[in-house]
Amino acid sequence: MKVLIFDEAEQAVARVADLVADLVRRKPDAVLGLATGGTMVPLYERLVALHQEAGPSFAGVTSFNLDEYVGLAAEHPCSYHSYMRSVLFDRIDFDLARTHLPRGDSADPMREADRYEAAIAAAGGIDLQLLGIGQNGHIGFNEPTSSLASRTRIKTLTDDTRRANQRYFDSFEDTPRFALTMGVATILESRFCLLLATGRSKADAVAAMVEGPVAAACPASALQLHRNATVVLDRDAASSLRLTSYYQHVHPGGADSAFG
Ligand code: PGA
């Protein structure tokens, strides 16, 4: 696992945006796995700015988002469909026909999960999967104790996750209880995993992911099994790591090492 630590969140965000933009320049028909959440908002802002300054074009990109709430139609203002349109898809030259999220209002969510998994495979798999991390160590909505072999399916959200996301809804009661999410194994199949975490509230989850045992208790720790995973952190998100001086030695100030 490559661990890049930056002093400031803006620097971490800029680095992740550059990695995404570089891939899209090299491979204009790349398949991107996209994430939602507060951490991704400044990242998408930065991607929009990069696009406006000097490209790249996202017109040929195919995307698959990690998750969607069960029961919310795409048009619901709190759906991840709506989030993606407002922060990214409608602000840049994405071809909406190539963007995919699980359909939260599907009459048969279990079938929808299988359909989504098949659609990812039919697109040739994911070149770059963007990830955030929950304070409880979830990636996507793979809550603690998720099978590390899991595929896209319905997950029951923990009350902690519902409380963390309550700010987008009218009340805790209105915050959805279930989500359709890519599984841990679905995520691990992507060719490159790029996780962004900023802020002190993520520090313990980051330490468990990077330095803890590989365990379903921290689903993000499964990234230790991925051969090409990069974790980009600001100082605060890195503050519970023990081997910081090693990461700084290999990647001073978040720079690439002599070997990439
Ligand atoms: P956040 O969510 O960026 O809103 O903290 C991250 C996540 O839960 O994966």
Q: Give the residue, by CA position, lying nearest to ligand 1 atom 7.
A: 134
Cβ of 150 less than 6 Å from ligand 1: no
Q: Which atom of ligand 1 is nearest to the CA of 199?
A: 5
Determine the residue of 133, 165, 169 to mutate for testing ligand 1's pocket, defined as the one with the most ligand atoms within 8 A of the Cβ atom: 133
Q: In angstroms, what is the C-alpha Rg of the chain?
A: 17
What separation in Å is there between the alpha carbon of 198 and the centre of ligand 1? 10
The per-residue pLDDT for 259 is: 76
**Residue range 138-157: mean pLDDT, rounded:** 98
- Taking 90 as the threshold, does the pLDDT of residue 37 lie above it? yes
At 236 the pLDDT is 98
Sheet containing 153-156: order of strands: 67-69, 178-181, 153-156
Bridge partner list, 241: none
The ligand 1 atom at the shortest distance from the C-alpha of residue 133 is: 9
**Starting at the edge strand that comes first in sequence, how are the strands of the sheet with 193-197 ordered?**
2-6, 229-234, 193-197, 128-131, 31-34, 62-65, 99-100
pLDDT-derived band at 230 (thresholds 50, 70, 90) equals very high
What residues act catalytically? 67, 136, 138, 143
Q: Does ligand 1 come within 6 angstroms of the Cβ of 219? A: no
Q: How many whole angstroms from 207 Cα to the centroid of ligand 1?
A: 16
**Has residue 238 got a pLDDT over 90?**
yes
Beta bridge partners, 178, equal: 156
What is the distance in A from the centroid of ligand 1 to the CA of 259?
31
- In degrees rounded to 5, what are phi and psi of residue 34? -110, 155
pLDDT bin (cut points 50, 70, 90) of residue 9 is very high
Q: Which atom of ligand 1 is nearest to the CA of 39?
A: 3
Ligand 1: atom nearest CA of 37 is: 4
Per the rule left: phi > 0, alpha: psi between -120 and 50, beta: everything else, 23 is alpha
Q: pLDDT-derived band of residue 181, with 50, 70 and 90 as boundaries?
A: very high
Inform me whether the pLDDT recorded for 221 exceeds 80. Answer: yes
Alpha-carbon distance of 112 to 259, in angstroms, equals 42
Distance 196 CA to ligand 1 centre (A): 10
Residue 132 CA to ligand 1 centre (angstroms): 5
Beta strand pairing call for 62-65 and 31-34: parallel
Alpha helix segments (H runs only) across 141-250: 159-165, 184-188, 203-211, 244-250
Check pocket membership of 38 for ligand 1, CB cut-off 6 A: yes
Q: Is 134 in the pocket of ligand 1 (CB under 6 A)?
A: yes
How far is the centre of ligand 1, averaged over its atoms, from the C-alpha of 258 (Å)?
32
Summarised one tens digit per residue, pLDDT across range 110-121 is 999 999 999 999
Q: Is the CB of 140 under 6 A from ligand 1?
A: no
Q: Is residue 39 within 6 Å of ligand 1 at its C-beta?
A: yes
Domains and CATH numbers, the chain: 2-252 (3.40.50.1360)
